Amino acid sequence: MKDQEITKMEFLLTLNDNIVVQRFFNVRGFNPRAKNSMELYQFIKALKEELQYYLKMKTVVYMMDNMDAIMADPTIMDTSFTDGPEIFNIFVKVGEQTLCHRTFDGKLFPPKVRYTVDVRPFLKDVLRELTDIFSHHDLSYEYLDFDLSR
């Protein structure tokens, strides 16, 4: 097996401009076409949905733990401590080039939940899956009758 070039990539999750997690990872045999693959699209979409579900479940636990206080003062659940939107951003990058970007609204979750998000339990699997996608050369580049490879 010949030595394959290693490409340094970045996974980044932010809440607005604040970094929640940033990890660099290496991909051996980088496939630049993978950025247009259905596999990457489906993985990032599923990751976003998993993070939203995780935040929703943390919200339920927070509400149960603080039920008496919330019933006495419902403004505790006010999710608008800041002006403007609070957007979670999922980025996959090579250098300064963004290959994939997905967003979702953070204001759907109470401040105590969205400001304490912990993605460490997901991180190893996320980086492994991204590495597999970007090193794989047998990916899908069609959706319905559309060619995604361009």
CB atoms within 10 A of CB 71: 9
Mean pLDDT across the stretch 74-86?
A: 75
* Per-residue pLDDT band at 139 (split at 50, 70, 90): confident
Question: pTM (2 decimals)?
Answer: 0.87
Query: Does residue 138 or residue 149 have the better pLDDT?
Result: 138
CB-based burial label for 129 (10 Å; 0-12, 13-18, 19+)? middle
pLDDT for 45-66, tens place per residue?
999 999 999 999 999 999 899 8
* Per-residue pLDDT band at 1 (split at 50, 70, 90): very low
The whole-number pLDDT of residue 80 equals: 63
Describe the chain by its helix, strand, coil percentages, rounded to 5.
45, 30, 30
Nearest to 44 by CA among 114, 103, 124: 103
CA angle (10, 14, 20) in 5-degree steps: 85
| Amino acid sitting at position 41 | Y
